[in-house]
């Protein structure tokens, strides 16, 4: 297979991954607005798809840079089968979790897939950039990704708890008539959350596309071409249009019974966490952040009202995703993509 064909394969898999990210994490983005009856499913799809696309176009490149810096693989075409293996495995994992209706993390799947493929191709982790902790404030490499992925749900839980307490204090003298303006305000908070998700999650695939183009010597430098942003945003928006009812129901009502105030707070708190990740280059999982925010809201109002068994199942899926996707990518590279390396320049 030629270098050009491999680049096209990696770009195609990147777009397919972004699409699966759209129906996986995008279903969580829309869940609270649909569950609290602030939006119909059609309205949620239109709003989320529009602002996810804008997030891809205008969301910067800090997360893309973080993803690119996960590996020290030499800048030549031998990197292409590695990227293909990691992406293929992440996509497969996303489809499996869609079938069993578990809001797994697409980001966890991608990171696990890339690490597993690097381990298979490099016969170890010598081409993985573990980075430095930097006192937990300025981590780099894999450490930065892992800290972002596992710290963001905790921050989301705390944000949901605090935001709801403050909101309820401000609304303490209000009647149920306040539900109408709270529903209307979700036409502001949902777009902000969708923009934040689009900015963060599309950049992960963009980073891999830039790596592939650079490895094939088709792209000088590391700037993201505008056409890469456009096709990534379009793939994410298309995925949003394929909302998964099971995930919407599970996140929007399966964890805690959502009312307009809960939907508003969920979107506001989650958007704050995801936007912070995008600005600092921290790849976070929107589905994790949103679900943990809902748990924080439920704990703040009525701890016994939280369906902790569902939360336990979700947490188990989250912690299993990286090692399972990594093992899958390891096997996929050995059995499916490794032979492609015979036709490409080898690691030097």
Which pLDDT score, from 0 to 100, does residue 137 have? 66
Q: How far apart are CA 266 and CA 292, in angstroms?
A: 9
What is the rounded average pLDDT for all residues in the chain? 86
Contact 333, 121 (CB under 8 A): yes
Model confidence pLDDT, tens digit, residues 38-61: 888 888 889 999 999 999 999 989
Model confidence pLDDT, tens digit, residues 133-163: 765 567 888 989 888 888 898 999 999 999 9
Model confidence pLDDT, tens digit, residues 274-329: 999 999 898 998 888 888 898 899 899 887 777 777 677 767 777 788 898 999 99
128: β partners: 71
Quickly count: other Cβ atoms within 10 Å of residue 306's Cβ: 19
Please compute the mean of the pLDDT values over residues 67-86 and round it to a whole number: 91
Contact 261, 171 (CB under 8 A): yes
Res. 215: pLDDT tops 90 = yes
**What does the angle CA 155 – CA 158 – CA 163 come to, to the nearest 5 degrees?**
120
Which pLDDT score, from 0 to 100, does residue 62 have? 92
Q: Which residue has the tokens 């748990």?
A: 295
Which pLDDT score, from 0 to 100, does residue 249 have? 62
Please compute the mean of the pLDDT values over residues 194-211 and round it to a whole number: 94
Which pLDDT score, from 0 to 100, does residue 248 have? 63
What string of DSSP letters covers 253-287? IISS---HHHHHHHHHHHHHHHHHHHHHT----HH
């Amino acid at each position: 297979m030629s270098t050009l064909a491999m680049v096209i394969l990696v770009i195609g898999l990147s777009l397919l991954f972004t699409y699966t990210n759209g129906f996986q994490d995008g279903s969580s983005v829309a869940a609270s607005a649909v569950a609290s009856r602030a939006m119909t499913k059609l309205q949620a799809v239109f709003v989320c798809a529009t602002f996810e696309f804008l997030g891809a176009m205008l969301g910067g490149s800090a997360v893309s840079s973080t993803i690119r810096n996960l590996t020290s693989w030499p800048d030549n075409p031998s990197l292409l089968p590695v990227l293909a293996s990691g992406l293929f495995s992440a996509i497969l994992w996303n489809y499996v979790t869609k079938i069993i209706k578990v809001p797994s993390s697409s980001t966890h799947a991608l990171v696990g897939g890339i690490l597993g493929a690097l381990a298979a191709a490099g016969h170890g982790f010598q081409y993985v950039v573990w980075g430095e902790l930097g006192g937990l404030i300025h981590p780099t490499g894999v450490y930065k990704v892992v800290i972002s992925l596992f710290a963001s749900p905790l921050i989301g839980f705390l944000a949901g708890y605090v935001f709801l307490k403050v909101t309820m204090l401000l609304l303490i003298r209000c009647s149920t008539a306040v539900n109408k303006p709270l529903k209307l305000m979700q036409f502001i908070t949902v777009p902000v959350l969708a923009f934040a998700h689009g900015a963060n999650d599309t950049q992960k695939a963009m980073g891999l596309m830039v790596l592939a183009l650079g490895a094939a010597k088709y792209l000088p430098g590391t700037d993201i071409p505008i056409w890469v942003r456009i096709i990534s945003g379009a793939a994410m928006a298309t995925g949003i249009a394929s909302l998964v009812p099971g995930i919407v129901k599970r996140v929007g009502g399966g964890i805690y019974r959502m009312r307009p105030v809960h939907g508003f707070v969920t979107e506001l708190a989650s958007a704050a966490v995801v936007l912070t990740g995008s600005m600092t280059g921290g790849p976070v999982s929107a589905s994790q952040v949103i679900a943990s925010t809902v748990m924080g809201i439920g704990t703040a109002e009525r701890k016994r009202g939280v369906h902790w068994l569902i939360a336990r199942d979700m947490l188990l899926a989250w912690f299993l995703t990286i090692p399972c996707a990594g093992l899958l990518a390891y096997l996929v590279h050995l059995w499916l993509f490794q032979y492609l390396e015979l036709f490409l320049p080898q690691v030097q």
